[in-house]
Structure 1
């Protein structure tokens, strides 16, 4: 492709780049081409994957403008006049994302000028905000009502099939209660969605937990007490091997659908007597085929792991309304 205004190897941090240059698409690009380019650019620029927060803001602003027919038309008019840059519409604030990469000491606490501390324990901040005056002025309606977006738990385990449905509902309800009691109070912006259909196949995702720009997909199992060795593929106990639910392909599919998020998979193993520390799950001789984004843990390990994963991400007190709305549409 020809790049009359920007070299192919030029960094996306160039502030004078147009939206088309940021996404590296032609001005005649179709919606499909824009979506493909956005996913590629978002993966590269996302701070959670070693990218730059400023570059990610430009990628997001470019996509939000070019994918909307009216905004793209207005932008094209200014672009043709030589006035278009990479910012948002005139007078409108840019995307809020302004966080260091995950793993840095500042990732869980974001400070911005004239803004409150942004930690996992803060009150939820909705993006985009629920501003009735702005909606009325734009002649628009929110993706989902505020009353729905403010709920921390959505849906319940659904009866699927005939055989084993009661046992499945029992273990899934344990997971819902566990997360509701021990994770959600600590992270007010976290949203738990139960009963999703997998985008990868016709299977289901028991639970999805969203907070800020991180998403955890969670499956549940119920096994006898004891010590289990997890080698990255199977649980081994007393000479018996047990394969947990296969989540890796679902995680990959959800990561493709939501490139702006960091998506991981978790399988929680409940014990029959409700002891959160049983069964014991030891990481043992992790195989080369193990998937780093899948964690197999007991109930106590799930609580500890989810709190760390969600709270250490960028802007953990953010409720990402567009992502939440899309997840809710997949509920049964």
Structure 2
């Protein structure tokens, strides 16, 4: 059996408008999201279908290869049921090459539509906002770890992904709080908070962080991830909490994972050290369709949410 097409997954005709695709995605995402009792694999299929069909370039490329099985020759070495043309994944090397391609703005700045949302001079900037002093207690430590995270993301992610846009200090939607960092590339959005903790071995089971039998409370990022996914249905939103060590060693502290917990599986928030953060963010941001896209409307909404 051939896998369902992106149109079949969303339940829309092949001539569906962008509005129809968005409405179908909202309905399917609510039904399949793991946080609402859905299946993670099905949710990823729905998200991938939307990522492709909502991007004019990706959709055009997909449509050129879309067709009944008789019209789609199987690539050499392709397993049965995985016909060529039904997957936008090109493998790690292809993902990295696509992510490193020059940034493409959607909608294009050749029209007046994009300029009316965000000036091109602003959209070209890859880093927006800086860690700022908020409150009185713990400000020095917080500013130190936030600045360290900005430097890490700027050097390891932004520098190698022309489409990446780093927005620092977002107001948490509907709450009196902040999201330290948001990283947008293509149709994927990573929300990142941070902690500065001593060296040692920490244990993460998907909900609780432990060290030496004691519970260490990470930032409450999961509600923000869920809220942002609701606000940005066109994006695939996931969260990371990075733990920095005092001496700047990217591989410290060590984060061990409880038996039965899959660190590479779906979860609203991943707890990692700096080295793993870089590895997982590169995989997440580059593996989506059209990772070199700057989605201007999403960028504009994120910029509007920065603290001033």
TM-score by length of 1: 0.70
Report the Cα distance in structure 2 between the residues aligned to 1:52 and 1:280, rounded to whole angstroms. Answer: 32
Aligned ranges 1:1-332 → 2 under 5 Å:
12-15=11-14, 22=20, 39-40=26-27, 49-51=44-46, 60=54, 95-98=56-59, 104-105=89-90, 109=94, 119-131=98-110, 134-135=111-112, 141-286=115-260, 292-332=267-307
8 Å contact 2:199–2:252 — kept in the other structure?
yes
Gap runs ≥5 in structure 2: 1-7, 33-41, 63-84
Tell me: CA distance 1:55–1:231, structure 2 relative to 1, closer, same or farther (3 Å): closer
TM-score by length of 2: 0.75
Report the Cα distance in structure 2 between the residues aligned to 1:233 and 1:272, rounded to whole angstroms. Answer: 24
Report the Cα distance in structure 1 between the residues aligned to 2:143 and 2:253, rounded to whole angstroms. Answer: 20
Report the Cα distance in structure 1 between the residues aligned to 2:9 and 2:160, rounded to whole angstroms. Answer: 42
Report the Cα distance in structure 2 between the residues aligned to 1:241 and 1:102, rounded to whole angstroms. Answer: 42
Q: Which moved further from structure 2: 100-109 or 213-222?
A: 100-109
RMSD: 3.5
Shift of 1:43: 6.5
Tell me: CA distance 1:241–1:146, structure 2 relative to 1, closer, same or farther (3 Å): same
Report the Cα distance in structure 2 between the residues aligned to 1:309 and 1:233, rounded to whole angstroms. Answer: 21
The structure whose Rg is larger is: 1
Aligned residue-pair number: 266
Task: Give the 3-state SS of the residue equivalent to 1:96 in structure 2.
Answer: helix
Shift of 1:145: 1.1
Shift of 1:13: 3.9
Tell me: CA distance 1:317–1:286, structure 2 relative to 1, closer, same or farther (3 Å): same
Q: Which digits, 9 at most, give the CA deviation of each residue in 1:277-329, with x for residues without a partner?
A: 100001113579x9713110011111111111101111110011100000000
Tell me: CA distance 1:232–1:51, structure 2 relative to 1, closer, same or farther (3 Å): closer
| Higher fraction of helix | 2
Task: Give the 3-state SS of the residue equivalent to 2:267 in structure 1.
Answer: coil
Report the Cα distance in structure 2 between the residues aligned to 1:19 and 1:124, rounded to whole angstroms. Answer: 22
Report the Cα distance in structure 2 between the residues aligned to 1:254 and 1:101, rounded to whole angstroms. Answer: 29
Task: Give the 3-state SS of the residue equivalent to 2:300 in structure 1.
Answer: helix
Tell me: CA distance 1:106–1:271, structure 2 relative to 1, closer, same or farther (3 Å): closer
